[in-house]
Amino acid sequence: MAIYSFWIFDRHCNCIFDREWTIPADSSSGITNSKQNEDTAKLIYGMIFSLQSMSRRMSSKSNTVRTIATGKYRIHLLSTITGLSFVLFSDLKQQDLSQLLQYIYSEIYVKYVARNMLSPIDYAENDSEKRGQGFRKINNRNFIKAVQDVLGPMVNQ
């Protein structure tokens, strides 16, 4: 199993965290919260948003998309009822990483972001930064390190 990248989107449709690994042999390679990834993030969110609303229309409202597979990679998705989306790109070998995403949410995000009272919880400071127009990221060292510790070993497996 290999992991390619990890993204978090908030309820304002903004990408608030991204981590992309570029060299499989080196788990610390790649970029974190990069400006270069802005457009990619918008594309990813657009794809998820459309599939999400499509799947809702075809069944009940609480239905959510969990994985999306293409010919080359698989996307794993965790959407919380507070509007966060955790998105993980992996190779096709891995069927379901929802447990891992739930772990990242409850043990890393909640621990280092939600319980960190002095860091913001809402990454849009005013209306012009909502609806996917924001640029603020989770720049919390503990959080970035914990994500790297959990996902790093899986980059090349």
Report the distance separating Cα 36 and Cα 56, nearest Å: 32
- What's the min distance (Å) between Cβ of 139 and another protein? 18
Report the distance separating Cα 28 and Cα 22, nearest Å: 9
Report the distance separating Cα 151 and Cα 32, nearest Å: 13
Q: Which is nearer to another protein, 92 or 121 (CB)?
A: 121
- What's the min distance (Å) between Cβ of 16 and another protein? 13
- What's the min distance (Å) between Cβ of 19 and another protein? 19
Report the distance separating Cα 147 and Cα 145, nearest Å: 5
Contact residues for another protein, defined by CB under 8 A: 11-13, 42, 45-46, 49, 61-62, 80-84, 98-100, 102-103, 105-107, 109-111, 113-115, 117, 121-122, 130-133
